[in-house]
């Protein structure tokens, strides 16, 4: 069974940051870090349905690296993996 976003929704996997250590040698635990605001697109919907019945294609594709807002999207767990479903409007930029 595959997870396929509908409409203008996009499924992403957050990009995990490397373990951080302060200049004094203190390791910052994952629970103290903010969730990353960048990720990799792993699935895209068909696009937004326009009033005339056409679909507006989504500007990102599978494999693209993106930036998104801090409180954007809906977190889902699928196949023991934490993923995020965003609307296309929640994406701030594509990274190259």
| pLDDT, tens digit (0-9, with 9 covering 90-100), for 64-74 | 999 998 889 99
CB atoms within 10 A of CB 84: 19
| Backbone φ, ψ for residue 73 (5° rounding) | 80, 180
- pTM comes to 0.78
Q: What is the tens place of the pLDDT at every residue in 11-47?
A: 999 987 666 676 777 777 666 666 668 999 999 999 9
* Domains of the chain and CATH, by start: 9-17+27-95 (2.30.33.40)
H, E, C per residue of 65-89:
EEEECCCCCEEEEECCEEEEEEEHH
Q: Measured between alpha carbons, how far is 15 from 39 in angstroms, rounded to an integer?
A: 5
Sign of CA dihedral 71, 79, 46, 37: positive
């Amino acid at each position: 069974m595959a997870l396929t976003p509908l409409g203008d929704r996009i499924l992403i996997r957050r990009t995990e940051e490397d373990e951080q250590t302060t200049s004094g040698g203190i390791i910052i635990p994952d629970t103290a870090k903010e969730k990353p605001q960048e990720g990799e697109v792993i699935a895209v919907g068909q696009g937004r349905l326009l009033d005339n019945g056409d679909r507006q294609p989504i500007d990102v594709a599978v494999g693209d690296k993106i930036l998104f807002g801090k409180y954007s999207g809906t977190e889902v767990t699928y196949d023991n993996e934490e993923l995020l479903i965003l609307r296309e409007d929640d994406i701030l930029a594509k990274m190259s």
